[in-house]
Amino acid sequence: MRTIYYILQKEFRQIFRNKTMLPVIFAIPIVQLLILAYAVTFEIRNINLVVFDQDNTPQSRALISKFQAPAFYTLKGYVQSYDEALENLRKGACHQVLVIPNGFEKEIAKEARTSVKIITNAIDGSAAAIMNGYGNGIVMDFNQNLVVEMMGGIDFKQPIKVDYTFWFNPELNYTTYMVPGILVLLVTIIGMFLSSMNVVREKEIGTIEQINVSPIRKYQFVVGKLLPFWFIAMFELAFGLTVAKIIFDIPILGNIGLIFGVASVYLLVVLGIGLFISTLTDTQQQAMFLAWFFAVVFIMMSGLFTPVESMPSWAQQLNLINPIAYFIKVMRMIMLKGSEFKDIAGDFFSLLGYAVISLFLAIWRYKKVS
């Protein structure tokens, strides 16, 4: 026990002595949380529209004014030719072009059937689908009003009534959803990177020799390396949760003790992986790249930004070994839905097993001889 205490003392001193690292460890995560939580939204709030009106009649102008009514459409202007419209899309000056053909008004009056064209920049496929839906909806609306005007008094209510209810986040607020996830990321990155570069640093500078010849047992060494980062990461989590609560007003419906309980096991997994990477590599550069590789793969697959359900099944299988996926899921469940231990028990025990394995690997790979 005393040995571990001395190692801890040494590690803590080393961390707190480094005046330039401290702000990096503590300030960057919080600043990122504050700024980046606002960046994440799939809502389409601003569609720039260009109109090619070949008809130029009261009817066509009425349709255009329909597009100007919703707050998310901005009319960027009119063009005089098809080429000019396409040029606007090419330059990125607009997202959508509305093309009203010559004879639009006449066809409505005579043939009761006409068409308009909506061209959408579809590089972002999912946004394009939504924008196209908006455009179609407006035209359809215009169409129904027209029918009511011409025929008078016809009721177009839909026979099947669909009601929606959104649970746990009725305003569909994105920060509510993202903040717990970003918090997990920040804690993970801090823990994994600091621990992965730690042992290998001693190797690179040569101080590992001194530890190797001292009467320290392998597990004592690993515990001594791990605990300081564990405390730092737990502190960051507590700090981050406070910021989330105060600034973003994120609900914490579930038990806060449960969050820290899961976090304490989760951090063992992350730090274990970090230390394991550290024992596998010979330079800090290698350690950094390996840690980065795993971190980025874990982050992108975790369901933080894109839904896990829409990934192919091999990717979902891969998430069985993705600690970030477990923790993000659990954090969101506890904070936003008030899930209890019995709801997350499966994930908790998976993390626990994972912690045992990664720590075992780290202790096993750490060799006292170089």
Partner 1 sequence: MRGFIIKEFYHIFRDVRSMLILFGMPVVQVLIFGFAISTEIRNAPVAILDHSNDYVTQQITNKLLSSGFFVRGDQIENENQIQQIFRKGKVKEIIVFEKDFAKNLENEKEAHVQLIADASDPNVANLIVNYTNAIIQSYQQEYFKGMALPVEIVTESQMLYNPGLKSVFMFIPGIITILLMLISAMMTSISIAREKEMGTMEILLVSPLNPIQIVAGKVIPYVLISFINALTILLMSFFIFKMPLEGNMVLLLLESILFIIMALSLGIFISTVSNSQQMAMMLSMFALMLPTILLSGFIFPIENMPYLLQLLSNIMPPRWFIIIIKSIMLKGLGIQYVWKETLIIAGMAVFFIALSIRKFKIRLE
Closer CB to partner 1, 115 or 360, in the complex = 115
Q: Does 8 bind partner 1 (CB under 8 A)?
A: no
Tokens representing residue 117 in the block: 């064209």
Closer CB to partner 1, 5 or 320, in the complex = 320
Closer CB to partner 1, 177 or 366, in the complex = 177
Closer CB to partner 1, 121 or 212, in the complex = 121
- Produce one character per residue of 284-293: b if its CB has 16 or more CB atoms within 10 Å, e if not: bebbbebbee
Contact with partner 1 (CB under 8 A) among 12, 174, 231, 239:
174
d(CA 204, CA 320): 34
d(CA 239, CA 143): 54
Contact with partner 1 (CB under 8 A) among 3, 255, 286, 350:
286
Place of tokens 């102008």: 61
**Amino acid letter for position 112:** A
Q: Which of residues 321-360 bind partner 1 (CB under 8 A)?
A: 329, 332-333, 336-340, 343
Contact with partner 1 (CB under 8 A) among 219, 293, 349, 364:
293
Cα dihedral sign, 113-114-118-119: positive
Q: Which of residues 196-215 bind partner 1 (CB under 8 A)?
A: 197, 201, 204-205
Q: Does 120 bind partner 1 (CB under 8 A)?
A: yes
Closer CB to partner 1, 105 or 358, in the complex = 105
Q: Which of residues 88-107 bind partner 1 (CB under 8 A)?
A: 89-92
Place of tokens 């455009």: 135
Nearest approach, Cβ of residue 278 and partner 1 (Å)? 12
Any residues with CB less than 8 A from the CB of 110 and at least 6 apart, and which? none
Q: Does 50 bind partner 1 (CB under 8 A)?
A: no
Q: Does 246 bind partner 1 (CB under 8 A)?
A: no
Q: Does 22 bind partner 1 (CB under 8 A)?
A: no
Give the number of residues in contact with partner 1, rule: CB under 8 A.
118
Give the other-Cβ count within 10 Å of 206's Cβ: 9
Q: Does 118 bind partner 1 (CB under 8 A)?
A: yes
d(CA 234, CA 260): 8
Contact with partner 1 (CB under 8 A) among 128, 238, 247, 352:
128
Closest CA to 344 of 357, 332, 356, 353: 332
Any residues with CB less than 8 A from the CB of 134 and at least 6 apart, and which? 44, 47, 70, 72, 73
Contact with partner 1 (CB under 8 A) among 43, 153, 215, 370:
43
Tokens representing residue 292 in the block: 């980065």
Q: Does 62 bind partner 1 (CB under 8 A)?
A: no
Closer CB to partner 1, 281 or 358, in the complex = 281
Nearest approach, Cβ of residue 215 and partner 1 (Å)? 28
Residue 42 sits at φ, ψ, to 5 deg, of: -100, -5
Contact with partner 1 (CB under 8 A) among 1, 58, 153, 163:
163
> Residue 40 in 3-state DSSP?
coil
Nearest approach, Cβ of residue 285 and partner 1 (Å)? 5
Q: Are 266 and 172 in contact (CB under 8 A)?
A: no
Nearest approach, Cβ of residue 8 and partner 1 (Å)? 19
Element (H, E) at 10: helix 2-17
d(CA 190, CA 229): 8
Stretch near partner 1 under the rule CB under 8 A, chosen from 5-13, 43-51, 213-221, 262-270: 43-51
Q: Does 153 bind partner 1 (CB under 8 A)?
A: no
Q: Does 58 bind partner 1 (CB under 8 A)?
A: no
Q: Are 275 and 360 in contact (CB under 8 A)?
A: no
